[in-house]
């Protein structure tokens, strides 16, 4: 057997075809057998009924009036008897035939007929002499030991039944063929989404990332699986392209400080004996290296926070106090820029959080708000308790964010085009969101170009504070 045909016999499509066809063919076979047995019974019953009635009549005469009377009765009846159809024989208790009738063109019944068959009428088939056919024989033991036999040529009937059997066998062969074909088509149709799945996985394996399982449109589980598989592939594709984009951005953003460092080193190398120039080149190198280290540090922080590996030093801390502390730090930067930084009055707002990470969150939001608000604008910070959470809002009257950028500002290294003139790595908001998620909180932004931005984040309140 070739490898290919061996694989076919092991395939699910073969197994399903075999199972479907087996059920189909065996049900049809059972139905045909039932129909045949009913039909043959019905055909035989007609003949048997007439013979049985007659044999019973003879037995009752023998019982009531004795064998000689029965012989006489048969003799009287002989004229009317349809001798062309039936065999009749009456045997004495010693086995000698008392009377015998047979169809005109047939030999009489043979002598070695079955005897002492038990009560009631027993049915048997006798082969006709010279292989002409079969005689169906009704045998009945009589009370005093005699026997009455009545028979009829059953060859025509049996020939008819044999023809039925041949026709049934032919139909069964056809049914088997239809069953096999239908089974195969059904199995292939059922497995089509699976085949699509296999083809798609193979195509992806060869690098065709855009391959998808064809949607058959049906509303069954296999098509649902195909649709879910396609959705998963779309998600993986967008994740991969997101990762590629992030990697491109990291490479791009690392290149600038690395190129500057290289330039500073080369310049220092070409400076023969000016210690001041050398010192400046070293300071430039240190500055650029610090940028690289800080960028890598933030990238790692974001990854850790997103994967749940960030180690948080959780403790009960007052958000209102943290806000006051960070606002005081940024007050100086805001004043320098001519931006008004105001805090709404607030009560204590206990949260369970890592205070340093919260300073980072507030610092990034305040830094952005002041950075993206032109002189004369204002930044307002407010916070309140909202059910089991504490909400903090940093609102500015700055340049705002265009709608297309809003879903992307939390992506790593994403910076809106018009923000490129400002200093920044495009990592601040990614870190803010990752840290808040690690704390079980979240962040939301509302913004419109020219109208300012409104960043609101929430954190679960400290347990007893939430209850109070």
- Binding region for ligand ADP (CB under 6 A): 364, 368-369, 372, 396, 398-401, 409, 414-416, 419, 424-430, 453
For the chain, what is the radius of gyration of the CA atoms? 51
Nearer to ligand ADP, 187 or 413 (CB): 413
What six digits make up the tokens of 342?
Answer: 């105001």
Least CB distance to ligand ADP at residue 372 (A): 3
Least CB distance to ligand ADP at residue 365 (A): 8
Burial of 2 (0-12, 13-18, 19+ CB in 10 A): exposed
- Three-state DSSP class for 213? coil
Nearer to ligand ADP, 453 or 458 (CB): 453
Q: What is the dihedral of CA 181, 183, 187, 190, to 10 degrees?
A: 110
Least CB distance to ligand ADP at residue 367 (A): 7
Q: What is the dihedral of CA 212, 213, 217, 221, to 10 degrees?
A: -130
Least CB distance to ligand ADP at residue 457 (A): 13
> Which single residue brings its beta carbon nearest to ligand ADP?
424
Nearer to ligand ADP, 151 or 441 (CB): 441
Nearer to ligand ADP, 67 or 323 (CB): 323
Nearer to ligand ADP, 214 or 424 (CB): 424
> What is the distance between the alpha carbons of residues 76 and 58, in angstroms, rounded to a whole number?
13
Least CB distance to ligand ADP at residue 442 (A): 16
Neighbours of 68 (CB within 10 A): 10
Nearer to ligand ADP, 261 or 373 (CB): 373
Least CB distance to ligand ADP at residue 371 (A): 6
Least CB distance to ligand ADP at residue 353 (A): 20
Whose tokens are 């590629």? That residue is 244
Nearer to ligand ADP, 237 or 252 (CB): 252
Least CB distance to ligand ADP at residue 295 (A): 10
Least CB distance to ligand ADP at residue 381 (A): 12
Task: Give the C-alpha distances (Å, rounded to integers) separating 51 from 85, 100, 121, 284.
Answer: 11, 16, 10, 125
- The secondary structure of 40-89 as a DSSP string is HHHHHHHHHHHHHHHHHHHHHHHHHH-HHHHHHHHHHHTTTS-TTTEEEE
Task: Give the C-alpha distances (Å, rounded to integers) separating 337 from 333, 340, 453.
Answer: 6, 9, 18
Nearer to ligand ADP, 146 or 377 (CB): 377
Least CB distance to ligand ADP at residue 214 (A): 41
Nearer to ligand ADP, 132 or 451 (CB): 451
Q: How many residues make up the chain in this entry?
A: 468
> What is the distance between the alpha carbons of residues 274 and 255, in angstroms, rounded to a whole number?
28
Q: What sections of 66-147 are H helices per DSSP?
A: 67-77
Least CB distance to ligand ADP at residue 259 (A): 20
Task: Identify whether the C-beta of residue 171 lies closer than 8 Å to the C-beta of residue 179.
Answer: no
Task: Give the C-alpha distances (Å, rounded to integers) separating 3 from 18, 191, 242.
Answer: 20, 22, 44
Nearer to ligand ADP, 167 or 448 (CB): 448
Nearer to ligand ADP, 352 or 360 (CB): 360
What six digits make up the tokens of 286?
Answer: 């240190």
Least CB distance to ligand ADP at residue 416 (A): 3
Nearer to ligand ADP, 347 or 404 (CB): 404
Task: Identify whether the C-beta of residue 186 lies closer than 8 Å to the C-beta of residue 192.
Answer: no
Bridge partners (DSSP) of residue 125 are 136
Bridge partners (DSSP) of residue 380 are 342, 395
Task: Identify whether the C-beta of residue 297 lies closer than 8 Å to the C-beta of residue 327.
Answer: no
Closest by CA to 197, choosing from 168, 180, 222, is 222
> What is the distance between the alpha carbons of residues 205 and 89, in angstroms, rounded to a whole number?
88
């Amino acid at each position: 057997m070739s490898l290919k045909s061996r694989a076919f016999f092991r395939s699910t499509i073969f197994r399903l075809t075999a199972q479907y066809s087996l059920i189909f063919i065996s049900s049809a076979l059972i139905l045909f057998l039932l129909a045949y047995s009913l039909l043959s019974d019905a055909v035989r019953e007609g003949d048997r009924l007439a013979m049985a009635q007659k044999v019973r009549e003879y037995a009752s005469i023998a019982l009531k009036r004795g064998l000689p009377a029965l012989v006489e009765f048969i003799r009287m009846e002989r004229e009317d008897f349809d001798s062309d159809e039936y065999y009749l024989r009456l045997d004495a208790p010693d086995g000698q035939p008392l009377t015998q009738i047979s169809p005109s063109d047939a030999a009489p019944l043979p002598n070695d007929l079955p005897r002492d068959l038990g009560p009631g009428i027993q049915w048997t088939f006798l082969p006709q002499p010279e292989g002409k056919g079969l005689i169906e024989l009704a045998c009945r033991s009589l009370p005093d030991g005699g026997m009455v036999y009545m028979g009829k040529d059953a060859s025509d009937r049996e020939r008819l039944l044999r023809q039925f059997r041949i026709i049934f066998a032919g139909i069964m062969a056809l049914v088997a063929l239809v069953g096999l074909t239908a089974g195969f088509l059904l199995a292939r149709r059922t497995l089509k989404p699976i085949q699509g799945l296999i083809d798609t996985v193979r195509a992806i394996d060869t690098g065709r990332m855009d391959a998808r399982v064809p949607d058959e449109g049906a509303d069954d589980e296999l098509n649902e699986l195909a649709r879910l598989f396609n959705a998963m592939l779309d998600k993986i594709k967008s994740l991969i392209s997101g990762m590629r984009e992030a990697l491109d951005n990291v490479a791009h953003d690392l290149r600038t400080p690395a190129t500057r460092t290289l330039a500073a080193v080369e310049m220092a190398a070409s400076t023969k004996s000016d210690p001041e120039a050398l010192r400046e080149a070293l300071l430039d190198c240190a500055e650029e290296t610090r940028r690289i280290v800080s960028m890598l540090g933030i990238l790692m922080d974001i990854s850790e926070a997103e994967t749940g590996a960030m180690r948080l030093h959780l403790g009960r801390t007052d958000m209102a106090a943290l806000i006051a502390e960070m606002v005081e730090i940024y007050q100086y930067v805001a004043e320098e820029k001519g931006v008004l930084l105001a805090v709404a009055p607030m009560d204590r707002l206990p949260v369970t959080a890592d205070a340093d990470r919260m300073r980072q969150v507030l610092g990034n939001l305040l830094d952005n708000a002041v950075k993206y608000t032109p002189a004369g604008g204002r930044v307002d910070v407010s916070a309140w308790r909202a059910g089991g959470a504490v909400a903090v809002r940093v609102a500015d009257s700055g340049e705002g964010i265009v709608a297309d950028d809003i879903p992307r500002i939390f992506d790593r290294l994403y910076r809106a085009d018009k923000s490129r003139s400002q200093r920044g790595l495009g990592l601040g908001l990614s870190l803010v969101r990752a840290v808040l998620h690690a704390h079980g909180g979240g962040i939301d932004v509302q913004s419109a170009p020219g109208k300012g931005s409104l960043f609101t984040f929430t954190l679960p309140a400290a347990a007893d504070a939430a209850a109070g």
